[in-house]
A and B are shown apart, each in its own frame.
Chain A
Amino acid sequence: QVQLVQSGAEVKKPGASVRVSCKASGYTFTGYYIHWVRQAPGQGLEWMGWINPHTGGTNYAPRFPGRVTMTGDTSVSTAYMELNRLRYDDTAVYYCARVEGDCTNAGCNWGSFEYWGQGTLVTVSS
């Protein structure tokens, strides 16, 4: 069965970086995109971006200019999300999700976010 298992909780100081991992199993890792979504305490869901593990191609939401990097390691079927220059308002639960996608120069058509990781709490605190 499809599983996405994320790394454990992190506590970081403002200005530091954090890397969250998302290990996939039960399907062909390179056959689907991995999207990242975060949720601040008591708030809604915020889409952050995606990575195509097959090509390494990425696309990030505009509200993270130059601060987020998504990568993938096909040898261990794991996707990573690194967020730099952490701020207090980056405190959130970070989720990865497996998504079917069809991307062309004109844009992407996405499938549903059917499979999610369990979430990783990142706390930014001095």
Chain B
Amino acid sequence: EIVLTQSPATLSLSPGERATLSCRASQSLSSYLDWYQQKPGQAPRLLIFDASDRATGIPARFSGSGSGTDFTLTISSLEPEDFAVYYCQQRRNWPTFGGGTKVEIK
């Protein structure tokens, strides 16, 4: 099983600030890494696929980078609606999710 470790667990920021979220894999994923946003009471929403491609309708302030074992999700300037939990997911054979990073209002 591929283990994904996300850091930090919680990120306390103000609107307008830049958010940088990390996801590290226990083995190489090439670019089979996605990012999801989840708000309370809602299903996860796909933000980034293949490490760096934005899903349909996702604002340009969201960007993904990385390959192999180290990946980053960046939100360039936080909007009020961006405060949520973010998960990375690998989809090689047995999909697994990271433990999540909560982006909360400082």
Contact = CB atoms under 8 A, between A and B. Distances in A.
Chain A, interface size category, equals 20 to 34
A9 interface: no
Interface stretch (B10-18, B19-27, B66-74, B87-95): B87-95
Contacts of B87: 44-45
Interface residues of B, number: 24
Question: Chain A interface secondary structure, helix, strand, loop or mixed?
Answer: strand
27 contacts: A44-B97, A44-B98, A44-B99, A44-B100, A45-B38, A45-B44, A45-B97, A45-B100, A47-B95, A47-B96, A61-B94, A62-B1, A95-B43, A99-B91, A107-B93, A108-B93, A109-B91, A110-B32, A110-B92, A112-B46, A112-B55, A113-B36, A113-B46, A113-B91, A114-B46, A114-B55, A118-B43
A97 to B, nearest CB: 8
Interface string A14-34: 000000000000000000000
A47 B43 contact: no
Given A44-B98, A47-B96, A119 B49 contact: no
